Amino acid sequence: MRPIIGITACNRTVGSEIAQAVMNRYAMSAMRYGDVGALLIPALPDLMDAAEVVERLDAVMLTGSPSNIEASRYGDDEGFGPYDNARDEMSLGVVRRMIDVGKPVFGICRGFQEINVALGGTLRRDVSANDELLRHHSPEESDLAVMFDHFHDVELTSGGMLAKATGKKRMTVNSVHFQGASRLAESLAVEAVAPDGIVEAFSARPNGVPLLAVQWHPEWQTEKNGDSQAFFRLLGQAARGEL
């Protein structure tokens, strides 16, 4: 049987109700290119503890989301929404518990930020607020296609997971984030950096198992991008204990 990964969900309004939601592109890319099965992790911490989840999983992937992490969780007194506090609670708990039991953790966009915060890092809010800086997000009024058509290069760390997996020193990535890492958690190693110095990917091996997160969106049109496929192959290898 294939390994099973957990994929974090968000609280999203569908019609007049709140639903647990994950865009298909996350699950489909992970399952297809990682060759894994998947279960969704609901952001319902009042009804389920992270410890109940991780014992049933071989790895976890934390997804992107329209919501931001509530600022007080990384020691800031100011931030901007929308927020999803239930997702914060579940995702941060899952990250810490997965590391405690020695299972792989992967993250995309908000998931990148969640891992950094869970391990003691902080976030910044200005990565797209100043025209004098590299803009990491297209204009807010952009539709989905235009938003994901916003790119910049990143420099890969020599000898890192991504450099080894892609055989490259530099990659072009989509850029769809308003927030980013400010102080990286001490246990994390830089995997990729944008031209303005913003950390765009990091890795670690807590308790000897792989952890990898990227600020960009490899799940967007993965079939057209070999570098994105390599990210999900790493996820599958990690879930199978091959990485």
| CATH annotation of 4-239 | 3.40.50.880
pLDDT of 130 strictly over 60: no
Contact 88, 107 (CB under 8 A): no
Burial class (CB in 10 A: 0-12, 13-18, 19+), 140: exposed
Give residue 14's pLDDT: 94
3-state secondary structure of 91: helix
What would the two tokens of residue 128 be? 């797209």
Write the single-letter amino acid at 63. Answer: T
Mean pLDDT, residues 214-228: 96
Angle between helices 110-118 and 85-101 (to 10 degrees): 60
Give residue 115's pLDDT: 98
Give residue 138's pLDDT: 62
Give residue 144's pLDDT: 73
DSSP readout, 141-187? T--HHHHTT-EEEEEEPTTSHHHHHHT-SEEEEE---S-EESS--TT
Q: Which residue is it, tokens 């279960």?
A: 39
Mean pLDDT, residues 34-39: 98
Mean pLDDT, residues 36-45: 97
* Listed residue (33, 14, 23, 75) closest to 235, CA to CA: 33
* Listed residue (210, 214, 205, 217) closest to 236, CA to CA: 210
Q: Which residue is it, tokens 């049109």?
A: 221
Angle between helices 226-239 and 24-34 (to 10 degrees): 70
Q: 25-34: string of b/e by CB count within 10 Å (b at 16+)?
A: bbbebbbebb
pLDDT tens digit string along 157-198?
999 999 999 999 999 999 887 788 999 999 999 999 999 899
pLDDT of 242 strictly over 90: yes
Give residue 225's pLDDT: 97
Within 10 A of 156 (CB to CB), how many other CB atoms are there?
Answer: 25
Give residue 88's pLDDT: 97
Contact 205, 70 (CB under 8 A): no
E strand or H helix that includes residue 106: strand 105-108
pTM to 2 decimal places: 0.93
Mean of all residue pLDDT scores within the chain:
92
Mean pLDDT, residues 77-91: 89
Contact 42, 7 (CB under 8 A): no
Contact 214, 202 (CB under 8 A): no
pLDDT tens digit string along 21-35?
999 999 999 999 999
* Listed residue (199, 198, 180) closest to 190, CA to CA: 199
Name the band, by pLDDT with cuts 50, 70 and 90, for residue 147. confident
pLDDT of 135 strictly over 90: no
Q: Domain boundaries in the chain? A: 4-239
C-alpha torsion sign, points 71, 76, 77, 79: negative
pLDDT tens digit string along 103-125?
999 999 999 999 999 999 999 87
